[in-house]
Copies of this chain bind each other. A is one copy, B any other.
């Protein structure tokens, strides 16, 4: 019964000709033989939070990972692990949110799976989405393409997703509710590509935040990245929440923010394009890449001192994404 109900819920919400064929695997054509593929499991708690929920996040997160390769996202798979006793209404809300998110991103959910496991103390839902997209541009958008002289663009203020989750969990109250930045970033990124901006690398700022993303790239390309602390937008309420919880906004997870590495000559045009889209209206240049060794990320403060920005150690926030 449960299985049938679930099938109906998912099958109806996500209906499209490829999914509706209901075979062991989905069959479909792609417009190019250059592909990107990614996978992510979403285990965030609570399932619903200010600014988002596990369903839309599971779509946006996987779409964003595809876009970070410069791919045009096309198709998602969706696998649910549900604990017995999970209310059907909750599941329906999540599925409805996924459907809306998929429509917004122009992707189709073409294959899926459902497993039901024993009830335990958890609140009962994990979602895995894998995605594929096609890479239509000749750009090789990857850490290996970053060059000394590249500038680093950041697509907006940081720390909101992590602090939105923590504020709910810790019962923090502010004048206004901190809303997650959870959002798809395919539109501004694909516009950069069509405009001919020579993007070298893109990176989603999820677990580990801006600090982890910068350190990973620095390590990959063996180059130093120097960032200006005062150029990094952090909202006042996020800053306050971080202070109360003893966290650093640079380490906090985001779900709708990315950094872009591009040649300095393209910085102005790129910023203009990004700032025209609501999801990246707060884009700004935050740093540069230099040949100086050893590879590391340095952060220059407002008063001119410079310090090493380390990789976050350990997982700051469990069940954040």
Is the pair A28, B37 in contact by a Cβ cutoff of 8 Å? yes
Please state the number of chain copies in the assembly. Answer: 2
Q: Which residue of B lies closest to A320 (CB)?
A: B115
Is the pair A24, B38 in contact by a Cβ cutoff of 8 Å? yes
Is the pair B27, A117 in contact by a Cβ cutoff of 8 Å? no
Name A142's contact: one of B23, B38, B135, B318 (CB within 8 Å): B23
Interface string of A1-28 (1 = CB under 8 A from B): 1110000000000000000011111111
Interface string of A72-100 (1 = CB under 8 A from B): 00010111110000000000000000000
A314 to B143, CA, bound (A): 48
Stretch of A125-133, A241-249, A271-279, A299-307 lying at the B interface = A125-133
Q: Judge whether A66 is part of the interface by a CB distance below 8 angstroms.
A: yes
Is the pair A69, B24 in contact by a Cβ cutoff of 8 Å? yes
A180 to B143, CA, bound (A): 43
Q: How far is the CB of A137 from chain B (nearest CB, A)?
A: 12
Contact A111-B41, Cβ < 8 Å, known A30-B33, A143-B21: no
A122 to B119, CA, bound (A): 10
A93 to B55, CA, bound (A): 32
Q: Judge whether A173 is part of the interface by a CB distance below 8 angstroms.
A: no
Which residues 120-175 in A have Cβ within 8 Å of B in the complex? 120-122, 126, 128, 130-133, 135, 140, 142-144
A315 cross-chain contacts in B, Cβ below 8 A? 2-3, 116
Q: How far is the CB of A202 from chain B (nearest CB, A)?
A: 8
Please list 29 pairs of residues, one from A and one from B, whose beta carbons are closer than 8 Å in the complex, sorted by A's number: A1-B314, A2-B315, A3-B314, A23-B68, A24-B66, A24-B202, A24-B203, A25-B37, A25-B65, A25-B66, A25-B133, A27-B34, A27-B71, A28-B34, A28-B36, A30-B35, A33-B33, A35-B132, A37-B77, A37-B111, A39-B77, A41-B80, A41-B113, A43-B81, A77-B130, A81-B81, A81-B126, A113-B128, A117-B318
